[in-house]
Structures are given as structure tokens and as C-alpha cells.
């Protein structure tokens, strides 16, 4: 076995990346003043809309993502790798491209014309914000949920079935409790990703204050205004997003560690 590099050397080699990541964030915090948060009052609608749409996107992701995660975890079928790749696609696809795809499908050049005939509209609405967030963020939940379902010993599921429990009862009484940490971690990461979604939302939902302007869009529009008030508002909103994201990621990591640790309770 080779000798490990001294701690001082490892720390020194790690500094460039750590400083590169930390310095911009520290710059945001240093530039924030009480006046910055006072300016945030003007963007309170964006704060409210972001938390509402991110929560709605999480609910939709859990409802439609849980069956997919369970299906992939416990069933082998032809094309499984293709389905798995499709679920990974939003993780690497540029959000702007995702927003364009949604716009072409649900806009006037796609289903939008049919929806208009029935007095319905999706583009440039709050529903479009939620759809964009679900498209981008739901794979995070599916990945965590699938890992959690795969961690459930098959012997426990078979034992539950032997005792007469239905598949649905086994799912809620055996599978979900054992994989709870992975499910919650996936939900937390999904909510955080939805909260920070920008590109797809801008293209598909637009930037309309009070209707589609989420926190990331408010940061962009406030900074682009070129005014001192706009700059202070964008800085304060960015710090709020950074703080929320940090806490959310820390919670998800803690839950993931708990899921990997033995739990015989």
C-alpha cells in the first residue's frame, strides 16, 4: 500500500478549487447590508411564488416519480437502460433547451392551438413555471427513490406477501419505512433544484412579475435593471437562495448518510 500524502499537502492542493467556489459566495455575503434586505420587500412576490411553485413541483414529482422509481427498482424489462437514460437527460440537458422543447410542445406550434380552442393556456403562466421545474427537478427524486427501493431486502417484501399483505400494503408498511431517508433526501434535493430553476422557466413561462417571476428570474431582472436598488435586491435574493440551498444540501447529505448506515430499529 502506498503512503498517503501528508495532510498539509492534501489541504494545499485542495485550496484552489475551494477558494474558487467560496470566494464568489463570500463576495455576495460581504456586499449584503440591511438596506439590501429592505429592497427585497419589492421582490416579495417572487419569494412567495418560488416557494409555492417549488412545493407544487415537488408534490407532482413525488406523485408521478414514485411509481417510476419503484418500477425501475424491482422490474427488469427490455429498454430499461433507455428509460434510465431518458430520466438522466434533464440532468445534463441545458435548461434553455428544455424550456424550448416545452414551448414547442405546449405552445401555439404544438398542443397550444388545441388548448386555446378549449379556453386553456399553459405558456407564460404559473402552471408553466411548475411544469418547467418538474421537468428539470423530478429526476433527482426518481434517482434517490430508486436507490432507496433497491436497498429494501427482497426477503422482507416476500415475507410480507407470505403473511397475506397486498403489494400496496407491503409498499406502505415495508418498502417506504425502510427507504424513508432516501425518499426524503430525494424530495429535499428536488425542491431545492426546483427553487433554483431559471433557464427552462424563462423560455417556457416568461418573466412576468406576480405570475411567473420566480426568485432566479427576479435576481436576473433586478441586476439587469442597472440601478443601485436593483443591484441590492439581486444580491439579497442571491444570498437567500445560497443560504437555502446550503441548508437543503446539508439536510440531504445527512439523510443519505442515515440511509446508508445500518438501521435495525
Residue-wise pLDDT tens digits, 49-81 = 999 999 999 999 999 999 999 999 988 888 899
**122 within some domain:** yes
Kindly provide the b/e burial profile for residues 221-237, where b requires at least 16 CB atoms within 10 angstroms of the residue's own CB.
bbbeeeeeebbbbbbbb
Lowest-confidence segment of 56-70, 89-103, 164-178 by average pLDDT: 164-178
Residue 228 in this model has a pLDDT that exceeds 80: no
Residue 182 near residue 62 (C-beta atoms within 8 A): no
Residue predicted with more confidence, 167 or 35: 167
pLDDT for 263 equals 46
6: in domain: no
Burial 149-172 (b: 16+ CB within 10 A, else e): beebeeeebeebeeeebeeeebbe
- Kindly tell me if the per-residue pLDDT of 5 is higher than 70: no
Q: What's this model's pTM, rounded to 2 decimal places?
A: 0.84
Domain interval for residue 123: 36-260
The total number of structural domains that make up the chain: 1
At residue 83, the pLDDT reads 92
Q: Which three cell numbers stand for residue 116?
A: 386555446
23 belongs to a structural domain? no
Give me the pLDDT at residue 42, please.
55
Q: Is residue 75 part of a domain?
A: yes
Amino acid at each position: 500500500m502506498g503512503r498517503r500524502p501528508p495532510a498539509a499537502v492534501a489541504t494545499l492542493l485542495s485550496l484552489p478549487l475551494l477558494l474558487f467556489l467560496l470566494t464568489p459566495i463570500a463576495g455576495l455575503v460581504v456586499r449584503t447590508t440591511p438596506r439590501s434586505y429592505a429592497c427585497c420587500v419589492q421582490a416579495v412576490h417572487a419569494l412567495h411564488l418560488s416557494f409555492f411553485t417549488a412545493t407544487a413541483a415537488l408534490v407532482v414529482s413525488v406523485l408521478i416519480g414514485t411509481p417510476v422509481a419503484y418500477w425501475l427498482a424491482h422490474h427488469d424489462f427490455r429498454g430499461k437502460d433507455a428509460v434510465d437514460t431518458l430520466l438522466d437527460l434533464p440532468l445534463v440537458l441545458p435548461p434553455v433547451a428544455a424550456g424550448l422543447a416545452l414551448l414547442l410542445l405546449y405552445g401555439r406550434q404544438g398542443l397550444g392551438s388545441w388548448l386555446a380552442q378549449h379556453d386553456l393556456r399553459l405558456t407564460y403562466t404559473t402552471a408553466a413555471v411548475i411544469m418547467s421545474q418538474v421537468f428539470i427537478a423530478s429526476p433527482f427524486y426518481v434517482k434517490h427513490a430508486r436507490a432507496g427501493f433497491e436497498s429494501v431486502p427482497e426477503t422482507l417484501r416476500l415475507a410480507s406477501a407470505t403473511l397475506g399483505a397486498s403489494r400496496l400494503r407491503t409498499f406502505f408498511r415495508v418498502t417506504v419505512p425502510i427507504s424513508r431517508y432516501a425518499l426524503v433526501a430525494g424530495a429535499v434535493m428536488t425542491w431545492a433544484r426546483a427553487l433554483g430553476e431559471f433557464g427552462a422557466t424563462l423560455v417556457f413561462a416568461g418573466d412576468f412579475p406576480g405570475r411567473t417571476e420566480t426568485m432566479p428570474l427576479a435576481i436576473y431582472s433586478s441586476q439587469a435593471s442597472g440601478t443601485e436598488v436593483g443591484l441590492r435586491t439581486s444580491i439579497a435574493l442571491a444570498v437567500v437562495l445560497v443560504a437555502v440551498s446550503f441548508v437543503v444540501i446539508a439536510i440531504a447529505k445527512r439523510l443519505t448518510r442515515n440511509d446508508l448506515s445500518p438501521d435495525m430499529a
